[in-house]
Amino acid sequence: MAVELTVNGQRVAVEASASTLLVQALRDHLKLTGTHVGCDTAQCGACTVIVNGNAVKSCNLLLQQVAGAEVTTIEGLASADGTLHPMQAAFQDCHGLQCGFCTSGMVMSAVDLIQKNPKATAAEIREGLEGNLCRCTGYQNIVKAVQQAAAAQ
């Protein structure tokens, strides 16, 4: 079956089976490998993307569920000239990443969080990102990065 949607501002049609997950469509069909597969159970958040303005775990959605939707992946955040999105730049500046595996999902969740709550406190940031797991950083620099990006907007 063919599913049409908009990914990172581009209208696309993905030919896939009815059981294809959004994360599989992004990675395997569209070659957008910045969205990672971590746990396959919607627990870790590595697969987080933004669908119609809301952060979602793409390993938990069938492609057909997002037919007609607007999807933004980590690749869609930076400007066409390569300038990083403020959240990406803040993660870099504040050392909010180490191995990088969780980073794309963490950034996407943080973008959604700050769009909805631009004056989020550290506690609200921690709560807002609790669906994203990181085994490297200890989260303090991630919180700093989100605060820095929020202040830059």
Q: What share of the chain is helix, strand, coil (3-state, %, to 5)?
A: 40, 15, 45
pLDDT at 112: 97
Asked if the domains at 2-76 and 86-152 fall in one CATH topology, the answer is: no
Give the start-to-end residue ranges of the domains of the chain: 2-76, 86-152
CA distance 32 to 46: 14
pLDDT at 55: 97
CATH 3.40.50.300 applies to domain 2-76 = no
C-alpha 144, offset from chain centre: 18
Q: Report the range of poorest mean pLDDT among 25-29, 36-40, 52-56, 69-73.
A: 36-40
- Whether the model clears a pTM of 0.85, i.e. scores above it, the answer is yes
CB atoms within 10 A of CB 31: 8
pLDDT at 101: 82
Phi, psi (degrees; rounded to nearest 5) at 48: -65, 130
pLDDT digits (tens, 9 = 90+) for 47-93: 999 999 999 999 999 999 999 999 999 999 999 999 999 999 999 99
Query: Does the pLDDT at position 137 exceed 80?
Result: no
pLDDT at 82: 92
Which residues does 79 contact at the CB level (< 8 Å), separation at least 6? 85
pLDDT at 95: 92
Strand, helix or coil for residue 63 = helix
Closest CA to 58 of 79, 91, 33, 78: 33
* Domain spanning 86-152, CATH architecture: Orthogonal Bundle (1.10)
pLDDT at 42: 84
